């Protein structure tokens, strides 16, 4: 009997880089979770389906406490893909793999280290961008232009640079950008700028009624914004650790 020999299988693998969000829990964890819950109350979908890394440098906890931390994050729909600065006692099966060698990304790094090839097509938009994608175009290598309104429930995520919306950002909509955000219309939803680490990122809008404005972890909400700024043309920028608003007109 002759055995049938099929064609040799080829093992294919490749390296791929991606942008991950780093959470840095600090003691006491109860207070840290209160701050996290306040953030999630205003932007509940921010971490869903996005890669998250834990930086454990500020924590000295037991394995039991570490597992509880991961469980508490999972209950908030935050799935940890890896951890850095982890002690030996926090390594083992069914725990996030230990990562090292990563570096913080800022806007300059994105421009210099990840230029788009002239003949390379722009990457497909994330799932949450699909609805307005037909109206979104690349202004240049690190910008995204959305030519139309962003409706409630939609999320535009562009970690590589600025986002410009020519239209309204409705209540319940969200814009997340690595750089600055420009809204030529009423801004009623949430805007999170500078997620690439850029301290110079800004938010501009022609009619400010935002639920949340955030740059570099500092944020203001509709409740904490002065009534004299409602409906005005605004600029938001970082001033040290505070987010300051300025009326433009």
Q: What pLDDT does residue 70 have?
A: 94
Q: Residue 5 — pLDDT band, cuts 50, 70, 90?
A: low
User: Nearest CA to 165 among 191, 198, 201?
Assistant: 191
Residues pairing with 136 in the sheet: 146
Fold of the domain spanning 128-247: Pectate Lyase C-like (2.160.20)
d(CA 135, CA 147): 5
Which residues belong to CATH 2.160.20.70 in the chain? 128-247
The domain over range 21-90 is classified in CATH as 3.30.70.260: yes
Which residues belong to CATH 3.30.70.260 in the chain? 21-90
Report whether 129 contacts 135 (CB < 8 A). no
Q: What pLDDT does residue 210 have?
A: 93
Assign residue 101 a region (left: φ > 0; alpha: ψ between -120 and 50; beta: otherwise): left
d(CA 161, CA 143): 5
Of the two residues 12 and 228, the one the predictor is more confident about is: 228
> pLDDT tens digit string along 38-75?
888 877 777 877 789 999 999 999 999 999 999 999 99
Task: Report the percentage of the chain scoring pLDDT > 70.
Answer: 78
């Amino acid at each position: 009997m002759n055995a049938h020999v099929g064609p040799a299988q080829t093992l294919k693998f490749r390296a791929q880089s991606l942008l991950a969000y780093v959470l840095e829990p600090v003691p006491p964890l109860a207070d840290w979770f209160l701050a996290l819950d306040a953030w999630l109350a205003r932007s509940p979908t921010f971490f869903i389906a996005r890669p998250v890394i834990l930086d454990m440098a500020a924590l000295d906890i037991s394995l039991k406490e570490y597992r509880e931390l991961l469980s508490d994050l999972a209950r908030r729909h935050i799935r940890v893909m890896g951890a850095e600065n982890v002690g030996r006692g926090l390594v083992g099966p069914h725990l996030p793999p230990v990562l090292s060698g990563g570096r913080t990304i800022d806007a300059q790094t994105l421009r210099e280290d990840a230029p788009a090839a002239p003949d390379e097509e722009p990457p497909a938009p994330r799932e949450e961008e699909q609805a307005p994608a037909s109206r979104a175009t690349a202004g240049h290598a690190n910008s995204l232009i959305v030519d139309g309104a962003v409706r409630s429930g939609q999320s535009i995520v562009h970690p590589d640079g600025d986002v410009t919306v020519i239209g309204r950002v409705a209540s319940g909509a969200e814009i997340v950008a690595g750089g600055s955000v420009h809204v030529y219309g009423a801004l009623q939803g949430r805007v999170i700028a500078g997620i690439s680490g850029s301290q110079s990122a800004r938010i501009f809008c022609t009619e400010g009624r935002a639920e949340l404005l955030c740059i570099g972890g500092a944020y203001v909400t509709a409740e904490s914004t002065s009534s004299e700024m409602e409906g005005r043309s605004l600029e938001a920028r970082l001033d040290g650790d505070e987010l300051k608003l300025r009326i433009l007109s």
